[in-house]
Amino acid sequence: MARPHLASIIEDAFHRRTNAWLRGRGWKPRTIGHTGYGSPEFVRVLGRVVLSRSARDQPLPGAEVVQRGWRAFLTAPALNVPVTVTVNGVEARTRTDRSGYIDLTLMSPGLEPGWHEATLAADDARPMTAPVRIVDPSAGFGIISDIDDTVIRTMLPRPLIAAWNTFVRHETARHVIPGMARMYRTMLGERPGAPMFYLSTGAWNTAPTLTRFLRRHGYPPGPLLLTDWGPTNTGWFRSGQQHKQDTLHRLAREFPQLQWLLVGDDGQHDPKIYNDFAMKRPDAVEAVAIRELTATEQVLSHGTPLSLPEYVPNPRRQTPVFRARDGHGLLRLLSTWHR
């Protein structure tokens, strides 16, 4: 393997010293379960282990606890901690990675389609459960949705505005995009068993906040596929676009029977990412829905009143592309198309 990037070396050294210092003062591991997914053939379990002052007695903020965004980032990841994952009576052992994350795939879990729970038991921490959505093999349709400026108004990636929205504002003050929840519920209601996935370049630290936001505003439940901000083995920062591209192709491989409705906005790079994906996997994309930002939102998002480069039609398979200012408009277009 190539030598790790200086950024990851510095981050790893900082985390090791922080872990030793906190453990020396009695801090213990605490487990966070994220929503996973799978099929009757496999299950992907996601979670994280952090260090806490009182890991056994005080649960992490739950679905009904609201807070300011910066609190979600005040965490100390527990590195290289042994974790036992149990799914349907089957145990598997793993360890947290360099940022405290758990990403484990178990084969042949024997689970029926629907919602289930995995149990995560970390070193000296209270076992926690993580929901898992098992996709019905007979389903032929699914939705993959961006989050920022698609379901929630964030005006990313402008640094100062993004920082204010993410770290300072109270989570209940965030604005929902009108009609998007209704659009998703309607599209899924027409296709029983269809799964919902939320794909974002946002940090895993925000997963509890986003889960509460989506639930509070009536969005369909589904796995959040986020990323870990900060250094990697190849550079100072992770590539959000690469994260989205890799995840789209992974889902296409894991669920080859599904055709996806890809939903995003034109304030960042969703149109290009979706176009590239449709070009490479034309049979995996049923349609693309793009939420158009207003001129003001475009300026706040990337500095100009115009959207980023348009979606280029796929010459091998004409993928339908729908554009509207909100979920109400997209639903009208999609409903007409389905008829």
Residue 175: its H or E element = strand 175-176
Measured in residues, the chain has a length of: 339
Q: What is the predicted pLDDT for the residue at 11? A: 65
Q: What is the predicted pLDDT for the residue at 297? A: 61
DSSP for 262-282, please give it: EEEESSSSHHHHHHHHHHH-G
Question: What domains can you pick out in the chain, each with its CATH number?
Answer: 6-134 (2.60.40.10), 141-338 (3.40.50.1000)
State how far the Cα of 197 lies from the Cα of 251, in Å rounded to an integer. 10
Task: Tell me if residue 123 falls in helix, strand or coil.
Answer: coil
Q: What is the predicted pLDDT for the residue at 132? A: 97
State how far the Cα of 125 lies from the Cα of 262, in Å rounded to an integer. 38
State how far the Cα of 339 lies from the Cα of 333, in Å rounded to an integer. 10
State how far the Cα of 10 lies from the Cα of 6, in Å rounded to an integer. 6
Q: Are 180 and 149 in contact (CB under 8 A)?
A: no
Strand partners, 77: 50
Non-local CB neighbours of 95 within 8 Å, separated by 6+ positions: 80, 81, 82, 83
Strand partners, 47: 33, 102
The torsion defined by the Cα of 168, 171, 175 and 178, in degrees rounded to 10, comes to: 160
Where do we find the tokens 């003001």? 296
- The structure's pTM equals 0.84
Q: What is the predicted pLDDT for the residue at 63? A: 42
**Residue among 268, 262, 275 nearest 293 (CA):** 268
Positions in the chain whose pLDDT score sits under 50: 1, 55-73, 157-158, 160-165, 167-168, 231, 233-237, 305-306, 311
Angle at 202 between CA 200 and CA 207, to 5 degrees: 95
In the chain, how long is the greatest CA-to-CA distance?
A: 64
Strand partners, 141: 259
Where do we find the tokens 């994220």? 34
Q: What is the predicted pLDDT for the residue at 62? A: 44
User: How does DSSP classify residue 80?
Assistant: T
